[in-house]
A and B are shown apart, each in its own frame.
Chain A
């Protein structure tokens, strides 16, 4: 969602160029990187000249060195793998239940009437308010973490699938009746393709929620191998370079997740436009 938001061009009120050396005269290609580069340069200068306390603002070099060390010696790779495995497990469990239940709710008015108040009530409770309960029911170990991640993925998958099915034009439903489609044919020919955009939106959101929940579960529940565990370590030992490194990795992974989901969506949905 985010990339398309900023990618769309309105081009309505462009600042007039007055002198030759305004930022506007930078080549458009250079513009996106100029602010980050300036920021990083200021950071480096502040860190090197002692303007900022190095305990709080380590040099970029120190962070890079830490990164190399963490990856080569301290097993950050396996921490990342542990987090991603947890994330994937919870995502698959939660999203598949969410999509299945969403389809069922979209097909069956009865089921919708029976369950929607409960699901609506469930949606009011902030996701992380479940953490204490889940940790008491499933423990703070692996099971509790995965259950929490699954819960996080469940809600958006459910809501969007449900809306996707509900949004199928009524005329299609009538058409399927005229053509005397069986329930199965209706599901395969009309309902699933019609609900697909909703399902993908839901899965994309579920992916992001699950990742947030992974980091949250690792910060809040028992310490275990994982990127959240390393962040806890960095906080308690005051290793700020480790924390910056982790935040950097979190951002990188977030971008990767979005690119991956976007590419998959385009690929799977391409038949719709062609």
Chain B
């Protein structure tokens, strides 16, 4: 296990040097991208092979062609588009509602110690209940209509937005606030030019987590109680033992997750440029 021999130890001293280095190093020149494609490609080939050779029954793993067939079919008859739009609309509604309320709640509890000591403990206790634990009780209260989805998705977004906003506001350096007082800034300008810029990174990570939570929760709530949307498409495919439909819907869910993450990274880098002297 001694690592004194190979040349790449500085980079990677933890690797046992028994690994055949020349081969892997030559392999490394192909570039990270190509290496990254090796395993997915191998899996895809194995999938295609096992499906075509009939190693696995179709109820367990349909061939890739069938999954893409299901994708094409649902795309052509419009179910995929309408399901996706329904899901996206639900996430947007729930997230917006939860984020706006979470921001307000976070600002108040972050700025006022009194407000924090009054409501934060209750809020923290309620937030310990897994979001989906509220679903059965809410179904009895509001039924399985859209309001159920907005409430649950909104609550999933509210928690991280409120927590992070409160923290961001609370962590505004005191010196900045004192400076504001010295300059006798109005409340509004203190908020706009001191608190907000300083709290933005924290607020943003709250929004980011909130959006991720909303998306997760959407899938749950659509699996449990809905008649349209991507989660319903999956539940439907499961009931009919159409695994290709389930996998096709999973691909779309993954693609949407990816676009949400990419979008957030873009916004984040933009915000950081806007606010270069941020304190982390």
Contact assessment for A5 and B166 in the assembled complex, using a CB-CB cutoff below 8 Å: yes
Binds B, one of A71-79, A93-101, A239-247, A263-271: A239-247
Query: What are 15 residue pairs bridging A and B, where the CB atoms are less than 8 Å apart in the complex?
Result: A6-B109, A6-B163, A8-B167, A8-B170, A10-B172, A10-B174, A12-B170, A13-B112, A110-B27, A110-B35, A118-B40, A128-B231, A173-B10, A183-B15, A231-B136
Quick one: closest A residue to B212, CB to CB? A126
Q: How many residues of B contact A (CB 8 A)?
A: 90
A131 — nearest CB in chain B belongs to which residue? B223
Additional A-B contacts beyond A107-B12, A131-B234 (4; CB < 8 A)? A13-B112, A24-B114, A216-B130, A250-B130
B207 within 8 A of A: no
Contact: A121 with B40, CB < 8 Å? yes
B232 to chain A, nearest CB (A): 11
Find B135's partner among A181, A184, A219 (CB 8 Å cutoff). A219
Interface residue A3 (Cβ < 8 Å from any Cβ of B): yes
Cβ of A184 and Cβ of B1 under 8 Å apart? yes
> Once the chains are docked, how many angstroms separate the CA of A127 from the CA of B212?
11
| Chain A residues close to B by CB (< 8 Å) | 2-3, 5-6, 8-15, 23-24, 28, 31-36, 39, 56, 106-110, 113-118, 121, 123-133, 135-137, 173-174, 176-177, 180-184, 186-187, 191, 211-212, 215-216, 219-220, 231-232, 234-235, 238, 240, 243-244, 246-247, 250-251, 254-255, 258
In the docked arrangement, what's the CA distance between A31 and B36, Å? 55
- Please report the C-alpha to C-alpha distance between residue A34 and residue B254 in the assembled complex, in whole angstroms: 44
Partner of A132, one of B111, B137, B235: B235
In the complex, A135 Cα to B237 Cα: how many Å?
12
The answer to whether B60 touches A14 (Cβ under 8 A) is no
For B95, list chain A residues within 8 Å (CB): none
Q: How far is the CA of A173 from the CA of B79 in the complex (A)?
A: 54
Q: Is the CB of B137 within 8 A of A247?
A: yes
Give the residues in chain A near B114, CB-CB below 8 Å.
14-15, 23-24, 31
CB distance from B127 to the nearest CB of A (A): 7
Contact across chains for B171 and A10 when beta carbons are under 8 A apart: yes
**Contact of A2 (CB < 8 Å), options: B27, B118, B127:** B127
Complex: A213 Cα to B93 Cα, angstroms? 25
Q: Please, which residues of chain B bring their CB within 8 A of the CB of A108?
A: 12, 14-15
Residue of A2, A116, A126, A137 ringed by the most chain B CB atoms within 10 A: A126
Residue of B nearest to A212 (CB): B130
- Contact of B132 with A216 in the complex, beta carbons under 8 Å: yes
Contact (Cβ within 8 A) A186 B132: no
Q: Is the CB of B127 within 8 A of A133?
A: no
**A176 in contact with B28 given A9-B113, A12-B174 (CB within 8 Å):** no
Contact partner of B122 (CB less than 8 A), chosen from A28, A36, A191, is: A36
- Is A128 a contact of B219 with CB atoms below 8 Å? yes
Q: Report B84-122 CB contacts with A as 1/0, cut-off 8 Å.
A: 000000000000000000000000011111101111111
Q: Do A127 and B254 touch (CB < 8 A)?
A: no
Chain B nearest CB, measured from A212 CB (Å): 4
Asked if B46 is at the interface (CB within 8 A of a chain A CB), the reply is no
B213 to chain A, nearest CB (A): 10
- Known contacts A113-B36, A129-B219, A173-B13; A220 and B224 CB within 8 A of each other: yes
| Distance from A52 Cβ to chain B, minimum over Cβ atoms (Å) | 11
Contact of A56 among B140, B250, B258 (CB under 8 A): B140
Chain B residues whose C-beta falls within 8 Å of the C-beta of A220 in the assembled complex: 220, 223-224
Known A2-B127, A10-B170, A129-B249; contact A235-B117, beta-carbon cutoff 8 A: no
* Of the residues A35, A113, A131, A136, contact of B32 by C-beta under 8 Å: A113
- Given A117-B36, A235-B139, do A215 and B116 touch, yes or no (CB 8 Å)? no
| Contacting residues, chain A, for B28 (C-beta < 8 A) | 110, 113
Nearest A residue to B123 via CB reads: A6
- Contact A28-B117, Cβ < 8 Å, known A56-B140, A183-B16, A247-B134: yes
Nearest residue, chain B, Cβ from A122: B254
Chain B neighbourhood of A114, CB < 8 A: 35-36, 38-39
**What's the least CB distance linking A86 to chain B, in Å?**
14
B111, A12: Cβ atoms closer than 8 Å: yes
Interface-lining segment among B70-78, B238-246, B263-271 = B238-246
A5: contacting residue among B27, B130, B163, B249, CB under 8 A: B163
Which residues of B have CB within 8 Å of A109? Answer: 11-12, 15
CB distance from A63 to the nearest CB of B (A): 12
Cβ of B126 within 8 Å of any chain A Cβ, yes or no, is: yes
CB-CB under 8 A from A246, the residues of chain B are: 133, 136
Report if B69 contacts A (CB, 8 A). no
- Evaluate contact between A125 and B12: CB separation under 8 angstroms: no
Residues of A within 8 Å of B11, CB to CB, are: 109
Q: How far is the CA of A25 from the CA of B136 in the complex (A)?
A: 40
Q: Does B49 contact A (CB under 8 A)?
A: no
Q: Which residues of A contact B60 (CB under 8 A)?
A: 136-137
Contact of A135 (CB < 8 Å), options: B110, B220, B231, B238: B238
